[in-house]
Amino acid sequence: MPFAHALGGTRYVFDDLATLLARATPLRSGDALAGIAAETAAERVAAQYALADLPLKHFLSEAVIPYEADDVTRLIIDGHEKAGFARISHLTVGGLRDFLLAEPEVANLGLTPEMVAAVSKIMRVSDLIAVGAKPRVVTRFRNTLGLAGTLSIRLQPNHPTDDARGVAAGVLDGLLLGAGDACIGVNPATDNIETVQRLLEMLDMVRTRFDIPTQCCVLSHVTTTMLALQRGSPVDLVFQSIGGTQGVNESFGVSLALLAEAHDAARARHPGANVMYFETGQGSALSANAHHGVDQQTIECRAYAVAAKYAPLLVNSVVGFIGPEYLYDGKQILRAGLEDHMCGKLLGLPMGVDVCYTNHAEADQDDMDALLTCLAVAGVNYIMGVPGADDVMLAYQSTSFHDGLFARAATRKTAAPEFEAWIARMGLGGEAIPAALSPALIGL
Amino acid sequence: MTNALDPPPDGAASILRRHTMARVALGRVGTAQPTSAHLAFQAAHAQARDAVWAEARLAGDITVRSQARDRREYLLRPDLGRNLAHGTTLPAAPGALVFMVADGLCATGVAAQAPAVIAAARPLFRLPVGPVVVAVQARVALGDAIGAAMGAAAVAVLIGERPGLSAQDSMGIYLTWAPRPGRTDAERNCISNIRPGGLSAAEAAAKLAWLLAAAQGLGATGVALKDDMPAMPLLGAVPAEPVERRRT
């Protein structure tokens, strides 16, 4: 079904919903790369007008990727929450924007990923912050994440050769600066099962030796983590990168059935806990040539529907990791990070954001400070903590432990309550390392 | 660049610095990093930015180009970096392992690391080794087109990795069995962080030979080929970048 809007004497026509969403998307290099971005600024706003007039009910009758062709579409349509949707089913996309900004309670609205993507496209940065701050998504493992007044940090102590003591040194440095309540999560340089098991055992040793109320994760492929689980390694969280189409998930070597199997296995080990950790990021589907002509931000929202299926403890968009061909500069990364946070929250996810960039993007630490501050105001569940903001294994820049301290102080937030109590108990905060956290206790 | 940091504020913190090149034990002023740590970071970022745009002469038997005409187009159009320039001709190397030496995001890195890895790896292979193809403005998947055009059994793409703050000379290897256009990243195995201070040329060559032999037995690379090569205790761990965070 075609959509149209006239602007400045020109009538712009958009052939279908996917085209309308793509043309209405604020400019980013990935959509230009895919050849689906608006050709002019006027065409973009015309598409935004047409999108604002679209009834939300239309999204239930036109899929951006056919139901028969894609298991993520089937998951979205088959799992649609009709009860919550009744409250807003009379609205257009424009009406939804007004509703979200005006209403204090915006959780459980039965929104589909495509509806959430659509409304974000007609929002400014301040709207993304204001609405993103409304839904509170609380998850639990050994501590409680996402409570009001808290900002958690994933401690990311990566090492280029997975050296256990090198990783442990990064862990201790982060703990001394108040990081690690979201999780202590290592990206291994290798997917080697022996290395993954060795890191899992070291992290568990540090956690138990210091009695830290947190959870650990080695971010290996889900199949490797399941093997480690079978071999009896101390697996807390099961990690996996996911995307918003069946094709991109296949490119990651996963299926919905495999994720369900991993979720069941980890829940058997940790009954009652949120056990999954997912990472996403705009552009992965185009990168895997699995985007079906749909814009990257809409596909990102579809990935959130996949994540929501498995009650994750943590989800984060690795927003600036993918590179300038998808998000060109600090301006595009800033907006995308705030879109991902708000859209994930509206879809019920415990959203974090890896506030980051690569050295081939037109961005620097100033851009990250701006995004970090906006996200802290928007109530992001967690951010990353990397020594000095410099990930020496993945070769990109994220937020430092110091940045985490800054964001908490600037927005008057604390770590998760159990972790905050641990910080007080350990006597952290001064210049010297407390005896209870002596490096010697963990073999350093 | 970590060397440019000031000494850590006390003796206990310096223990951390001994075990990692990460920016640990920086001290703090309020919630921020001290001036010296801040400027050391800025200097490293400036060098990394410059490395992305630097050019280098790469050694090989044949040189080909992708369809990306310059660095800016290469950065914005990865699709062009995966296709051979129109009119490219390549010799046949049926059943061989073909090396593709590619600039990727750091030409100086691959120029520094590739020759030693190729020299160390050659004697370890059971497969015949074809000509070394240098590829300019190249992405990993260009190896699929090159391998298919040459009829190769497998292609090992040696490519400059995106410069980081601590390393602006790092190379990765992507091994693809039965290369052909359309292969996905899940169908490759990767060895990353090959550089002084990371994985040595000898370690990378041993790893590549192990993966190639396993791929030959399995008839496949990627997720199907589980990397369960025993760890080399004297050499440390053996990096091969995980599929899920690899977005080259």
Q: Does residue A214 share a domain with residue A110?
A: no
Range of the domain at A126: 3-132
Q: Are A324 and A227 within one domain?
A: yes
Same domain, A82 and A194: no
User: Among A96, A115, A132, which residue terminates a domain?
Assistant: A132
Residue where a domain stops, chosen among A132, A164, A190: A132
CATH number of A319's domain: 3.20.20.70
| Residue (of A377, A311, A299) closest to A336 by Cα position | A299
Q: Do A192 and B229 touch (CB under 8 A)?
A: yes
Give the domain-ending residue among A106, A132, A158.
Answer: A132
Question: For the segment B124-162, what is each residue's pLDDT rounded down to a tens digit?
Answer: 999 999 999 999 999 999 999 999 999 999 999 999 998
Closest approach of A182 to chain B, Cα-based (Å): 19
ipTM associated with this complex: 0.95
User: What is the structure's pLDDT at B7?
Assistant: 58
Return the pLDDT at B241: 37
Stretch 113-152 of chain B: residues touching chain A, C-beta under 8 Å:
none
Which residue type does B33 have?
Answer: Q
Mutation choice for B interface testing from A29, A255, A277, A390 by most B CBs within 10 A: A390
Three-class secondary structure of residue A49 per DSSP: helix
The verdict on A190 and A58 lying in the same domain is no
d(Cα A246, Cα B209) in Å, to the nearest integer? 33
Same domain, A104 and A175: no
Question: DSSP labels for A276-289?
Answer: EEEEE-TTHHHHTT
pLDDT at residue B198, as a whole number: 86
CB under 8 Å to A331, separation ≥6 — which residues?
A: A367
End-to-end CA distance of chain A: 65
The pLDDT of residue B197 is 84
Measured CA to CA, the distance from residue A185 to residue A352 in angstroms comes to 14
Terminal-to-terminal C-alpha distance of chain B? 24
Question: What pLDDT, on the 0 to 100 scale, is given for residue A414?
Answer: 98
> Same domain, yes or no, for A401 and A356?
yes
Cβ–Cβ < 8 Å for A228, A284: no
- Residue B54 φ/ψ region, left for φ over 0, alpha for ψ in the -120 to 50 degree band, beta for the rest: beta
Any alpha helices (H) in B54-102, and if so which ranges? 71-76, 78-81
**Which of A32-41, A140-149, B229-238 has the least mean pLDDT?**
B229-238
∠ CA A96-A99-A105 to the nearest 5 degrees? Answer: 120
Instruction: Over range A267-272, report the average pLDDT.
Output: 97
Q: For residue A408, how many C-alpha atoms fall within 13 Å in the half-sphere facing its CB?
A: 28
- Does residue B248 surpass a pLDDT of 50? no
Number of domains in chain A: 2
Residue B2 binned pLDDT confidence (cut-offs 50, 70, 90):
very low
Residue A65 and residue A198 in one domain: no
Residue in chain B lying closest to A388 (CA): B23
Residue closest to A239 by CA, chosen among A225, A251, A253, A252: A225
Residue A14's pLDDT band, with cuts at 50, 70 and 90, is: very high
Over residues B106-125, the mean pLDDT reads 96
- CA A366 vs CA A20, A187, A357, A362, B189: distances in Å: 34, 25, 11, 11, 36
Residue B6 binned pLDDT confidence (cut-offs 50, 70, 90)? low
Residues 6+ apart with CB under 8 A from A244: A72, A113, A280, A285, A298, A299, A300, A301, A302, A303, A304, A305, A306
For domain B56-226+234-245, give the fold.
Rossmann fold (3.40.50)
Tens digit of each residue's pLDDT (9 = 90 or more) over A304-321: 999 999 999 999 999 999
**Do A127 and A152 lie in a common domain?**
no
A126 with A143, same domain: the answer is no
Helix axes A401-410, A365-377, angle to 10 degrees: 40
Q: What is the CATH classification number for the domain harbouring A78?
A: 1.10.220.70
Q: Considering CB atoms only, which of B37, B41, B76 is closest to A33?
A: B76
The tens digit of pLDDT for each residue in A373-391 reads 999 999 999 999 999 999 9
For residues A206 and A200, is the Cβ–Cβ distance under 8 A? no
How many percent of chain B have pLDDT more than 70?
A: 88
The domains of chain B are located at 2-52, 56-226+234-245
Residues A291 and A354 occupy one common structural domain: yes
Lowest-pLDDT range of A174-178, A399-403, B211-215, B241-245:
B241-245
Task: Give the side-chain half-sphere CA count within 13 A for A340.
Answer: 32
Which positions 24-63 of B are in contact with A (Cβ < 8 Å)?
Answer: 24-26, 28, 31-33, 37, 41-42, 44-45, 48-49, 51-52
List pLDDT tens digits, range B11-40: 667 899 999 999 999 999 999 999 999 999
Same domain, A97 and A231: no
Same domain, yes or no: A332 and A350 = yes
Q: Å from B92 to nearest chain A CA?
A: 29
Alpha-carbon gap, residue A180 to A368, rounded angstroms: 20
Residue B98's pLDDT band (cuts 50, 70, 90): very high
Distance CA A63, CA A52 (A): 18
Which residues on adjacent β-strands are paired with residue B99? Answer: B132, B156
